[in-house]
């Protein structure tokens, strides 16, 4: 008979760990948590956010995130307005600002799209930025929701 302590242990996958943690949780709750985690993985740089949390603490992060939300909303409103003027220089400046700010706080999906807008604007391909700019409000809302969900569980 082979005892368990002689069998090599392997790391459990994140899915296996999640299933174990939630085996006695109602399915609807698990589905909601799964969706929250999926949203977070899609929109956030969780390793960066965890480092910020570890360094600054939850209260400071919550305050910084609220400031980020306000600034991101304003920059996105400005970018939406700049679609009409097609001012490449203004698009470069605002998208660069949003890209850096979002990256610094771990808002990966916003940072990526803002970087694409910046790159295209620098090349003078403003028309190619228009559908990307249209994505920003939805990405911003999803990113903020994901961050709030993540912060509520920390």
Q: What is the pLDDT along the chain (154 residues), one digit of tens a residue?
A: 444 444 444 555 555 555 566 565 555 444 455 777 888 888 899 999 999 999 999 999 999 999 999 999 999 999 999 999 999 999 999 999 999 999 999 999 999 999 999 999 999 999 999 999 999 999 999 999 999 999 998 8
| pTM given for the model | 0.75
At residue 19, the pLDDT reads 57
Helix %, strand %, coil % for the chain, to 5?
85, 0, 15
At residue 22, the pLDDT reads 53
User: In CATH, what number does 14-153 get?
Assistant: 1.20.120.160
**Number of CB atoms found within 10 A of residue 90's CB:** 15
Angle at which helices 108-122 and 27-43 pack, to 10 degrees?
Answer: 30
At residue 142, the pLDDT reads 94
4 vs 1: CA distance, rounded Å: 10
At residue 85, the pLDDT reads 94
At residue 29, the pLDDT reads 46
Round the CA-based radius of gyration of the chain to a whole number and report it: 20
């Amino acid at each position: 008979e082979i005892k368990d302590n002689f069998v090599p242990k392997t790391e459990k996958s994140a899915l296996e760990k999640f299933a174990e943690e939630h085996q006695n949780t109602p399915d609807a709750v698990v589905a909601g948590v799964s969706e929250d985690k999926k949203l977070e993985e899609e929109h956030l740089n969780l390793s960066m956010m965890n480092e910020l949390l570890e360094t600054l603490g939850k209260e400071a992060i919550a305050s910084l995130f609220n400031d980020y939300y306000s600034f991101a909303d304003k920059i996105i409103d400005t970018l939406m307005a700049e679609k009409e003027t097609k001012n490449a220089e203004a698009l470069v400046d605002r998208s660069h600002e949003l890209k850096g700010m979002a990256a610094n706080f771990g808002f990966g999906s916003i940072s990526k799209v803002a970087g694409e807008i910046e790159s295209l604007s620098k090349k003078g391909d403003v028309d190619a930025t228009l559908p990307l700019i249209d994505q920003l409000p939805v990405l911003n809302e999803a990113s903020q929701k994901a961050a709030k969900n993540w912060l509520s569980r920390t």
